[in-house]
Chains A and B, each alone.
Chain A
Amino acid sequence: MTTRKAIVTVFAGVVLAAVPAVAQQVGTATAVNPTSESTPPGGSTVALTVGAKVVHKERIHTTPSGSVQLLFLDKSTLSIAPNTNLLIDEFIYDPNSDSGHMLANLTQGAMRYVGGKLSHQGEVTFSTADANIGIRGGTVTIIHGPNGTEVINHFGTITISNGGGTIVVTRPGFVVTITNWNTPPGQPVRVTAAEIEHYIKYLSSKFGQNGGIAGLNNIQLAECGTPTTKACPEPPWLPTDTGENDAFQVIIQSTQHATGTSPPPPPPSGPPCGHDC
């Protein structure tokens, strides 16, 4: 029995070792602006198109006008900005147990990761030349260039480690700058509105581009604020009668308490006025 198990295990290992080389799909390019290219492991560089399968160990490259969105099997996405180089080092995902892990290497440029099943397990790591960025949650924008790496947390817990130390960012809207591998990551500071707006525009199509799909001229479905959808976020209605109700309770209590007391007697009548009145 033990021998049979060992044979099966070895055989399975051999098969599994061979399978990734046969271009196992880990995701799909859901939006592509030219020119964006991909290089599968052992293959030649080709122009990326919408619907193209993304595989393990695939390298993605965008030109100054190119941008891409990748959708992975665990429902996470990567939006990749122009002038970016990214390698999907590893993507292992078991949909039955929602387990696995993802490793990707950003060698240049900017990307936004919106989390899925793997990041909810804390099993997603991006690396740059300056740091390893572990994601639990989580949604994050990472920018890497010659001056270092910037990590903007949008949601979740981000652990940034390098040769200089480790820092954990738990609040959305905070950015950490890492200048190089040997310098400790900087303290988290609030990201500016201008920087956020810049990367929102940078990590999507430019005006005139359509991500490879034409014909989306309007959206009829609304996220909120219609009779058939949920309420748009609004502050809880604040009652203004709290003071009135508290005062009423004071008066009820005082009245009940004073009900049985006779009114104070009138002041005693003094002697008839004389000349001094």
Chain B
Amino acid sequence: MQVKNRRAIRSRLAGALAPIALLAFSEISASAQTASDYAQNLNPLFQGVLTRPGNLSNTLQYAVGASQAGDIESAISTYEQLLFYNPKLSRTRFDLGVLYYELGSYDMARGYLQTALEMHDVTPELEQKTNDLLALIDKKLQPDQFTGFVQTGVRYQSNASLGPGSQTALASGQNFNSAFFARPDWNWFGTFGLNYVHDFETQTGETFEASFLGYDAQQFTLHQFDAGLMEVRAGPRFALSPGDVNGVTIKPYVVATGGLLADAPYYDGIGGGLTLHGHAGDISLDPYAEIVQQSFRNSTLYPLASGLSGTLSTLGLQAFEPLRSGLSWQGRVVYAHANDQFAFDSYDSYAADIWLPWNVSLGGTGRPWTIIPTAGVTRWIYGAPDPGIDPVTTARTTEWRVGLGLEIPIWEKFILATLVQYRDDASNVAAFSMRDLSVTAGPTFRF
């Protein structure tokens, strides 16, 4: 009965994800088809510009076609030609700003956007877009760049312990610790993320980067799950091909982590990693490898935690691609290997996640709302049966998670962020199976 329910849930998840995957695929294939078509038509259009530059229809088609085919310089040349014909058009200046931005020439982009705002024909919508892009460019032109968010709020969880149901029996015959039964609870949480980049302004493009992540949650009732954590990653970034704006960069970094559980020190870790940043077409790619030595501490509530101490090695790939105006996808695939004190705590895990942030305009000049469907799966394969849980079965657990986020602009950089997330862990060891529905809401400041 339980298996049937799980199958039904998975089938529903697959049904929900299919249109999203189809949408993403159709966007990608449509975009590829367009670029190819434009590329085929470019030469006759170019010949037209060369022989009859005053044919505005042909010249406009060539400008857009060149850009669609990825020939940004030809598009710039042609929009600058159009600017000669009418220097008062804010739209031309905005488009030139976008093209120079894509070229990595942020100063020229800023120049054209600033002058676009001076034109009399600028519409409120274009003004908003121009100001948004200017804010992005201003940040990129600073030697010290800060981006991130601060969020606080409340969260309801149907299973705050993320543990099994109270009817679950342990195959080991030991008593089930009732403190970890599945029970609902609320918590207050605060979290922040900060990314810092210092540009040394050398011609070879070296930067120093640091990222900070902090999180703390205080449960209303189940204080054994009060959790806090902090992660810091920092290191220099080097360009492998200086001068190529879209070239590959490499960053070695150090990582330090620490966490509290039940308001007592629970773990800390130190290690290092190596990450690359590059592009494949419009897709931004960040593969990484990281190794962290983790140390867990025993406590009254968690008397065996030190068994989790060991080395966590991770190989991952993060990707981002804008699909069309207001719609993009981000994805992550991660392989992790935990080599802990005991084989039954050690595991290999394989995870994949996708986010589809989608800006939805509600009309008028207000900022768009952002809807974020998310989905992910993780497969854990442990190293040996856990004698305290099930002495004969090696745990294999699959976690499915789906979520829907909604970000509602409130004022300037403040938004109201909500997230509904459902997790379903199915394991061949009953004590490792669980389900949880969480609902999170709170004000967020993005910068």
> Chain A: residues with CB nearer than 8 A to chain B?
27-31, 33, 50-51, 67, 69, 71, 73, 75-77, 79, 112, 114-116, 137, 139, 154-157, 168-174, 188, 190-191, 193, 196-197, 200-201, 204-207, 209-227, 229-244, 246-248, 250-264
Q: Is the CB of B129 within 8 A of A232?
A: yes
Interface size on B, residues (CB 8 A): 138
- Check B254 for interface membership: any CB of A closer than 8 A: no
Within 8 A of A (CB), among B47-93: 49-54, 56, 60-61, 63-64, 67-68, 71, 73-77, 79-89, 91-92
The 8 Å CB contact of B98, one of A33, A69, A224, A226, is A224
Select which of B49, B51, B147, B324 is within 8 A of A238 by beta carbon: B147
Against A, the Cβ 8 Å flags (1 = close, 0 = not) of B385-407 are 01011000000000000010100
A-B contact pairs, 9 of them (CB 8 A): A69-B80, A168-B203, A193-B107, A213-B53, A239-B355, A240-B417, A241-B419, A241-B421, A259-B170
Main secondary structure of the interface of A (DSSP, over half): loop
| Chain B at the A interface: SS class | mixed
- CB of B328 within 8 A of CB of A154, answer no
Q: Contact flags (1/0) for B331-374 with A, using CB distance below 8 Å?
A: 00000000000000100000000010100000000000010100
Which listed segment binds A: B2-10, B12-20, B223-231?
B223-231
Q: Which of A155, A218, A242, A255 contacts B161 (CB 8 A)?
A: A255
B67 near A223 with CB under 8 A, answer yes
Contacts between the two chains (Cβ within 8 Å), count: 338
Contact present for B163 and A242 (CB under 8 Å): no
Q: Which residues of A contact B172 (CB under 8 A)?
A: 260
Contacts of A193 in B (CB 8 A): 107, 110-111, 114
Question: Are B52 and A51 touching (Cβ within 8 A)?
Answer: yes
Contact of A216 among B56, B64, B189, B357 (CB under 8 A): B56
Query: Taking the complex as formed, is B144 at the interface, i.e. its CB lies under 8 A from any CB of chain A?
Result: no
**Is B186's CB within 8 Å of the partner chain A?**
no
Nearest neighbor of A153 in chain B, beta-carbon distance? B105
Say whether, besides A172-B245, A250-B267, A206 and B191 are in contact (CB < 8 Å). Answer: no
Chain B residues in 8 Å Cβ range of A115: 73
CB pair A251–B227 under 8 Å, yes or no, is yes
Question: Does chain A have a CB within 8 A of B37?
Answer: no
Q: A67: which B residues are within 8 A, CB to CB?
A: 84
Contact B325 A240, beta carbon cutoff 8 Å: no
Residue in A210, A221, A231, A261 whose CB lies within 8 Å of B86: A210
Alpha-carbon separation in the docked complex, A174 to B107 (Å) = 9
A169 to B243, CA, bound (A): 8
Beyond A76-B73, A240-B149, A259-B163, 12 additional contacts (C-beta under 8 Å) are A31-B84, A69-B84, A73-B50, A75-B73, A79-B80, A114-B73, A170-B242, A188-B203, A210-B84, A236-B320, A240-B151, A240-B417
